[in-house]
Structure 1
Amino acid sequence: MTEPEPEPQPQPLRVPMTVVSADGTPLACERTGEGPPVVLVGGGLSHKGMFDRLTDALSGRFTVVTYDRRGRGGSGGGGGGEPGQYSIDRETEDLTAVVGALDGPVSVFANCTGGIITVRAATRGLPLARLALYEPPYGAPPNPPGYLDRLRRLVARGRRAEAVTLFWRESVRFDEDVIERLTAHRAWETFLDLAPTLVHDGVISERHAAIPRDALHRITAPVLVLGGSLSPRWIQDTCTTLARRIPEARYTRIRGEGHVFPQEAAAPLLRDFFLS
C-alpha cells in the first residue's frame, strides 16, 4: 500500500505591477503576500520568476516584490549588445523606483551582481529598513583579456548559446561538468533569452568590481551578508570585508553551498533577519 498523495498547497497570488524608472523605462514587477515589503534583486542570467521558491517561503510574512532588471523579461531598457548603452546608474535608479513605489520601510535581498547594484544604491542614499546580500562578486579575478568584447560580438551575431557558455566558462569559471549539466537544465531556453543581458553584468564585473571601502560606512541599515562555505576563498574574503566595514553587518556562511544561491537553505535565515 502506498501513501496517498499530499493535498496540493494553494500557490500565493502573484499580482503583476509596473514601475517606471527615472529614464522612463518600464519595469515588470510582481507582488506576492502581505506584510512589510521585501524587494528581491537578481544577478546574472536571472529574472523575477527565478525567485519563486524564495518568494513562496517569505510571502506568508512579507509583501515580496520581484522585478525583471532592465532588458530582461517584461522590462524595457535593453541595448546590452552595443557599447555605451548600459550604465549601472540606470540600474540603481531602477531599484530606487521599485523601492519608492512601496509603502513603509522597505528591505532588500540582492544576489550576486544585484548586490553590487544594491550596495551602490544604498551608499548613495537609498533608504532601506534592512539589507541582505548573497555573495556580491567584488574582488573577482579579472575576466580574460577581451572577454567583454567577445561577449558583445556573440550577442550581436545572435550566438546566444556561445555567449552563455562563455560567461560560465570565463567569468563565473564553472567546471566543464557543471556547464554540461546547466546546458541540459530545463531553464536552458530562459538562459538563452537572457543572454544579451550578460553584457550588462560583464560591464558591472569589469568596471565596478572594487569594494567601495570608503563608502560602505554610509549604509546605516542592518545588513546580513550570506555566502556558501564551498565558495572560492576570494568571495568569502569579500563577504568578510563587507561585514567588517559596514557599520551594522554580520556574515553567515551556509554550510555545503557554493556560489549558486540556495533558496531553500537561505529562506529561514532571511525570514528571521527581516523579522528581527
Structure 2
Amino acid sequence: MSSIAVNGAGIYHELRGTGPSVMFISGATGDAGHFERVADLLADEFTVLTYDRRGNSRSLPPRGWGTTSVAEQADDAAALLSELGLAPAAVYGNSYGATFALDLLLRHPGVVRSAVLHEPAMISVVDDPAAAQTSVRSAVQEGLARGGPPEAVDRFFRLVVGDATWDRLPTGLRDRMTSNGETLVGVELGTFESYRPDDSALAGITTPAHVLVSEDSPGFFHEAAAWLAGRTGFEVVQTPGSHAPQFDHPDELVRTIRPLLRMHT
C-alpha cells in the first residue's frame, strides 16, 4: 500500500499475490476498495493491482486539477503499469473503468495482455441516451439537494446496487466513496459518457478481450455491450449481479472472470 507519482498525480495503489499481473480499474468514486474482495480471491493465482484513480480517495490530484478525460485516465493506468513493472497486464474495468480500459486497448496496447470490459459507460452509443441517464441524473440531483455531493454519491449507489448491498459495504470504504462526491459530481459525471471511438479504430484492436454484462443490469448496458462486440468481435459474457457485481456478487464475479484472466498468460 503506497503512492507513486504518475503523470503529475500521486496515485495510491495496492498489490496482492504473485503470478501474472492483473489490473482492476474502478468506475464512479474510483476507489481501490471497490475490488478488495475480488482481489483477495484472485491473489492465489495473480499479482493483483488495484488503485485509487486521480482525485479520488487517497490519490491526490495535481494542484489546479479540475477537469479530466478518458485519455487522461487511460494514460494514468498505462503509466502506473509501466512504473510498477507489471506490463503487459490483464486489465479488468468496471463502468467508467471499462471505458478507460478500452482506451488502453486503442492507445496503449503494449501494456495490456488481455482485457475484460464490464459494462463500459458508453451511453452515447445506445438508441436513447437521454432515457438511459434519467434515473442516474434524478438520483444525483435529489442527493445534491438534500445533502450535497456526499449524499449524491449515496443516492447514486443505492440506485445502482440497492440499499442492502450499499449498507453492507465496510464503513471506511463507504466514507471514502462519499467523500469523492466533489470529484464525481464536479469533474467526472457527464465527462466520459460521450466517448465513442470510430469503427475503424475498434475493428483494428488485436489484443484479446471480452465484454462482460451483469444479468440484473438495465437493458442499455446490454445494448452498449452488443454495440461494442459488433465492432470489435469481442465475445459477450454474462455474470450474476448488478452494474457493480464486485459489491453484490464478488464470488460469482471471480468465478466468471478467472478463466478469462487465465487466457493469454
Of the three residues 207, 216, 227, the one matched with 2:213 is 227
For 1:228-267, list aligned pairs within 5 A: 228-247=214-233, 249-255=234-240, 257-261=241-245, 262-267=249-254
For 1:43-122, list aligned pairs within 5 A: 43-77=27-61, 85-101=67-83, 102-122=85-105
The 3-state SS of whatever aligns with 1:69 is coil
1:275 corresponds to which residue? 262
RMSD of aligned Cα (Å): 3.3
1:123 corresponds to which residue? 106
Does the 8 A contact of 2:118 with 2:211 survive in 1? yes
Tell me if 1:217 matches 2:203: yes
1:12 corresponds to which residue? none
Rg: which structure is higher? 1
- TM-score, normalised via structure 1 length: 0.76
Seen in structure 2, the aligned counterparts of structure 1 residues 174 and 51 have a Cα distance that, compared at 3 Å, is: closer
Unmatched 5+ stretches in structure 1: 1-15
Query: For the residues of structure 2 that align with 1:48 and 1:121, how far apart are their CA atoms?
Result: 19
Does the 8 A contact of 1:79 with 1:85 survive in 2? no
- TM-score, normalised via structure 2 length: 0.79
Of the three residues 154, 159, 175, the one matched with 1:189 is 175
For 1:1-12, list aligned pairs within 5 A: none
Seen in structure 2, the aligned counterparts of structure 1 residues 263 and 203 have a Cα distance that, compared at 3 Å, is: same
2:190 corresponds to which residue? 203
Tell me if 1:164 matches 2:153: yes
- Where do 4+ consecutive residues of structure 1 move more than 6 Å? none
Query: As a proportion of its length, which structure holds more helix?
Result: 2
- CA-to-partner distance for each residue in 1:5-51, whole Å, 9 max, x for gaps? xxxxxxxxxxx2433222x1111111111111111100113411221
Seen in structure 2, the aligned counterparts of structure 1 residues 228 and 103 have a Cα distance that, compared at 3 Å, is: closer
* Count of aligned positions: 246
1:28 corresponds to which residue? 12
